[in-house]
């Protein structure tokens, strides 16, 4: 999937897919862009014209680059890559809260700016040739390419970009609109291929370029003719400019996208060695067990394995033994995804941190990882796991300068200034049950919070039983939940798991009908305005990312400090303070993360020797080996 610019992630309400994750634009500093940027500056106006933008450091690629460093420029075109997805779908609209969107439904969208899988901070002109901006970033002008066409062959103009921008402001999800609705003072179409975005003086400076250039480009004419809306489910993808279009689909069974041979950008340096497959097919399965059996039988040909037990024990079927299926462990150099259970903080019983901490102490990661997951996973400590943005030890002077005022105002516990940064509780890997010492500590926390065990061992407060419902739809978690429930029962908590289908799962998370729910918390290297969707009080009432309904004035204040960071050192310090505070609040129970991607595929694909740090890129810059595919067909392995 094409990598989108950083701010685009703000417009996407609910994508938990790993891979080419968008990141967010950052900083007030406009760096000297020199020859590498192929930049010219009109000194008399203090306006910079460039082929891209970065808040931190120089762009990796000059204006005249021939192809991205991580692609094979001679990769052949053709063939199919087939993948799987779980559950069902009834829509092709990623941006609506109605319906369940099909996998890869945004694969055909493009935006004015794009980023790469090897430049964490860069944004490059894609639908534009250059952008212009003054030193204070009070506005930006995009000079659009004149050869861009939509997938129906109609030309794209500045009016389409203006329309798309307004569409998200008027019909986008609430969490997006609340963040950006007061971001702009004006959007002006200056010509058929020239558009200007002007920004409010108090808008986040570091996010301006990214948000203006990150909105998907949709066809105004198509929307007007079809009557489609961004806030309603759709039976087809929106008309955009991308390399792939919808080929066919069967609701809840499969969806197929095909490469558009007339894609306007197929010969751009940006796309050399990319978009190599003729078709991308996604097969749907009711559960992971059925999906794995489907892979073994060749119903689909590429699989990112998310079941540790399968990876450890399941890949011993004939096509593995005879070399027809390849296994790879690819290092994951992105920010580690924090898979967790999050509390519903809208419920009174979970607003007391002592209760949340006691519940967290009942989860034994060490035993779970050793017994159920073959020691293949690690438990996330930080929200920026595996990066220099993760807090460690006690706060230094720079962090204290951010945290001390919040402590003085009573918004944070003074202990945050002197204690080691909060880490998950360590357990005995040889047994599931918490130690007696840990049980005593958890029981004491519950007692202090007023949840006292009765003669029947069940904890009550004001006559109300302490109940906990874990919402679940993914079978891979069932084995994890059951021993956790037993530990909770030992603490006097009446706990159960509600197993529901995909549609119920989506709706109950959305409506807040849960105590604990799964969440994949994915941060980026350049955190900025999108943090408000994850942790801001303003989005807690209606956010697919602030699923825990977090409303903490201290967090809101630190988010503002992160936005104001003008250098990488300032960014690291402010994110350390934020990371430390989030961990101190204990609103989630960290489960695990994987610092590798477990990949299996039929031996009909190839990829560059060196993969980039930010993406596997399997349907972006891998390619089909027609001769190898024919050998497998002749051997009866594939149809």
CA 190 to chain centre: 34
Distance CA(162)–CA(172), nearest Å, equals 15
Domain boundary among 548, 570, 591: 591
Same domain, 506 and 379: yes
Provide the whole-model pTM. Answer: 0.85
Same domain, 202 and 349: no
Domain boundary among 205, 226, 247: 226
Same domain, 405 and 526: yes
Distance CA(49)–CA(46), nearest Å, equals 10
Quote the tokens at residue 58: 């120089």
Pairwise pLDDT comparison (26 vs 75), residue with the higher score: 75
Task: Determine what percent of the chain is predicted with pLDDT higher than 70.
Answer: 93
Domain that holds residue 419: 338-355+366-431+467-476+495-591
Domain assignment present for residue 138? The answer is yes
- How many domains, the chain? 2
- Average pLDDT score, the chain: 91
Residues in CB range of 251: below 8 A, 6 or more apart: 88, 89, 90
pLDDT at 29 over 50: no
Same domain, 384 and 508: yes
**pLDDT grade for 45, boundaries at 50, 70 and 90:** low
Condensed to tens digits (0 to 9), the pLDDT of residues 472-517 reads 998 888 999 999 999 999 999 999 999 999 889 989 999 999 999 9
What pLDDT sits at residue 36? Answer: 32
Domain assignment present for residue 123? The answer is yes
Condensed to tens digits (0 to 9), the pLDDT of residues 215-225 reads 999 999 999 99
* Long-range contacts of residues 59-65, Cβ cutoff 8 Å, at least 24 apart: 59/33, 59/119, 59/122, 59/124, 60/116, 60/118, 60/119, 60/122, 61/116, 61/119, 61/122, 61/124, 62/35, 62/36, 62/37, 62/38, 63/37, 63/38, 64/38, 65/269
Domain assignment present for residue 553? The answer is yes
21 DSSP assignment: -
Domain assignment present for residue 29? The answer is yes
Domain assignment present for residue 309? The answer is no
pLDDT at 353 over 60: yes
The domain that contains 137 carries what CATH number? Answer: 3.40.190.10
pLDDT at 8 over 70: no
Domain boundary among 196, 226, 256: 226
Condensed to tens digits (0 to 9), the pLDDT of residues 81-128 reads 999 999 899 999 999 988 889 999 999 999 999 999 999 999 999 999
Domain assignment present for residue 343? The answer is yes
Condensed to tens digits (0 to 9), the pLDDT of residues 278-320 reads 999 999 999 889 999 999 999 999 999 998 999 999 999 999 9
Condensed to tens digits (0 to 9), the pLDDT of residues 617-638 reads 999 999 999 999 999 999 999 9
Map 287-343 to HEC letters.
CHHHHHHHHHCCCCCEEEECCHHHHHHHCCCHHHHCCCEEEEEEECCCCECEEEEEE
pLDDT at 438 over 90: no
Distance CA(424)–CA(365), nearest Å, equals 9
Distance CA(516)–CA(314), nearest Å, equals 30
Condensed to tens digits (0 to 9), the pLDDT of residues 124-159 reads 999 999 999 999 999 999 999 999 999 999 999 999
Quote the tokens at residue 230: 């961004």
Distance CA(48)–CA(192), nearest Å, equals 22
Distance CA(13)–CA(15), nearest Å, equals 7
Q: Are 543 and 175 in contact (CB under 8 A)?
A: yes
The domain that contains 510 carries what CATH number? Answer: 3.10.105.10
Domain assignment present for residue 548? The answer is yes
pLDDT at 425 over 90: no
C-alpha triplet 449, 455, 456: angle, nearest 5°? 95
267 DSSP assignment: T
Q: Are 214 and 110 in contact (CB under 8 A)?
A: no
Condensed to tens digits (0 to 9), the pLDDT of residues 571-607 reads 999 999 999 999 999 999 999 999 999 999 999 999 9
What pLDDT sits at residue 156? Answer: 98
CB-count burial class (<10 Å; 0-12, 13-18, 19+) for 69: middle
pLDDT at 205 over 50: yes
**pLDDT grade for 12, boundaries at 50, 70 and 90:** very low
CA 159 to chain centre: 30
- The mean pLDDT value for 230-241 works out to 96
Backbone angles phi, psi at 602, to 5 degrees: -65, 145
C-alpha triplet 609, 612, 618: angle, nearest 5°? 75
Distance CA(275)–CA(443), nearest Å, equals 56
Domain assignment present for residue 383? The answer is yes
| CA–CA distances in Å: residue 198 to residues 132, 217, 385 | 12, 19, 36
CB count, 10 Å around CB of 190?
A: 12
Backbone angles phi, psi at 171, to 5 degrees: -125, 0
Residues in CB range of 109: below 8 A, 6 or more apart: 2, 4, 216, 217, 218, 237, 238, 240, 241, 242
- Label residue 219 left, alpha or beta by phi (over 0 means left) and psi (-120 to 50 means alpha): beta
The tally of CA atoms less than 13 A away on the side-chain side of residue 144 is 25
């Amino acid at each position: 999937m094409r990598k989108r610019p950083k701010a685009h992630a703000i417009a996407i309400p609910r994508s938990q897919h790993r891979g080419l994750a968008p990141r967010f634009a950052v900083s007030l500093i406009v760096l000297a862009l020199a020859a590498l940027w192929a930049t010219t500056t009109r000194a008399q106006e203090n306006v910079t014209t460039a082929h891209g933008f970065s808040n931190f450091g120089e762009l990796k690629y000059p204006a005249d680059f021939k192809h991205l460093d991580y692609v094979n420029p001679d990769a052949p075109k053709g063939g199919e890559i087939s993948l799987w997805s779980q559950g069902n779908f009834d829509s092709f609209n990623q941006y609506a809260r109605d319906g369940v969107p099909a996998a890869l439904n945004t694969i055909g969208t493009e935006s004015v700016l794009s980023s790469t899988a090897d430049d964490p901070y860069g944004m490059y002109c894609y639908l534009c040739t250059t952008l212009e901006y003054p030193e204070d970033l009070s506005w930006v002008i995009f000079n659009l390419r004149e050869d861009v066409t939509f997938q129906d062959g109609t030309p794209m103009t500045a009016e389409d970009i203006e329309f798309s921008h307004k569409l998200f402001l008027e019909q986008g999800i609430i969490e997006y609109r609340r963040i950006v609705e007061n971001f702009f003072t004006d959007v002006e179409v200056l010509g058929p291929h020239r558009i200007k975005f002007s920004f409010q003086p108090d808008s986040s400076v570091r996010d301006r370029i990214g948000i203006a250039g990150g909105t998907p480009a949709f066809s105004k004419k198509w929307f007007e003719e079809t009557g489609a809306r961004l806030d309603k489910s759709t039976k087809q993808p929106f008309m955009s400019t991308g390399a792939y279009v919808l080929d066919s689909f069967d609701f809840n069974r499969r969806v197929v996208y095909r490469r558009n041979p007339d894609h306007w950008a197929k010969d751009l340096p940006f796309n050399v060695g990319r978009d190599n497959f003729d078709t991308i097919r996604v097969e749907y399965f009711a559960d992971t067990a059925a999906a794995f059996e489907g892979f073994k039988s060749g119903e689909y040909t590429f699989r990112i394995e998310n079941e540790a037990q399968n990876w450890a024990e399941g890949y011993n079927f004939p096509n593995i033994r005879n070399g027809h299926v390849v296994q790879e462990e690819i290092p994951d150099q992105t920010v580690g995804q924090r898979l967790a259970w999050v509390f519903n903080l809208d419920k009174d019983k979970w607003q007391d941190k002592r209760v949340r901490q006691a519940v967290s102490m009942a989860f034994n990661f060490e035993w779970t990882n050793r017994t159920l997951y073959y020691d293949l996973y690690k438990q996330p400590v930080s929200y920026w796991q595996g990066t220099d943005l993760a807090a460690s030890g006690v706060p230094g002077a720079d962090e204290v300068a951010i945290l001390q005022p919040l402590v003085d105002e009573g918004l944070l516990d003074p202990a945050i200034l002197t204690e080691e940064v909060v880490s998950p509780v360590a357990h005995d890997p040889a047994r599931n049950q918490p130690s007696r010492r840990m049980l005593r500590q958890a029981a004491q926390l519950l007692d202090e919070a007023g949840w006292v065990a009765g003669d029947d061992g069940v904890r009550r407060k004001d006559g109300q039983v302490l109940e906990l419902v874990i919402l679940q739809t993914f079978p891979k978690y069932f084995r994890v939940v059951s021993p956790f429930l037993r530990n909770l029962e030992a603490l006097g908590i009446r706990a159960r798991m509600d197993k529901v289908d995909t549609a119920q799962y989506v709706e109950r998370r959305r409506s807040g009908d849960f105590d604990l729910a799964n969440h994949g918390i994915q941060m980026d290297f350049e955190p900025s305005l999108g943090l408000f969707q994850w942790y801001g009080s303003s989005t807690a009432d209606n956010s697919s990312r602030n699923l825990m309904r977090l409303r903490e004035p201290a967090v809101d204040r630190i988010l503002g400090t992160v936005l104001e960071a003008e250098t990488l050192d300032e960014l690291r310090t402010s994110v350390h303070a934020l990371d430390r505070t989030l961990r101190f609040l204990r609103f989630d129970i960290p489960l695990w993360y994987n610092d590798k991607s477990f990949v299996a595929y039929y031996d009909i694909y190839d990829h560059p020797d060196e993969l980039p740090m930010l993406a596997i890129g399997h349907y972006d810059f891998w390619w089909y080996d027609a001769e190898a595919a024919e050998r497998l067909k002749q051997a009866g392995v594939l149809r």
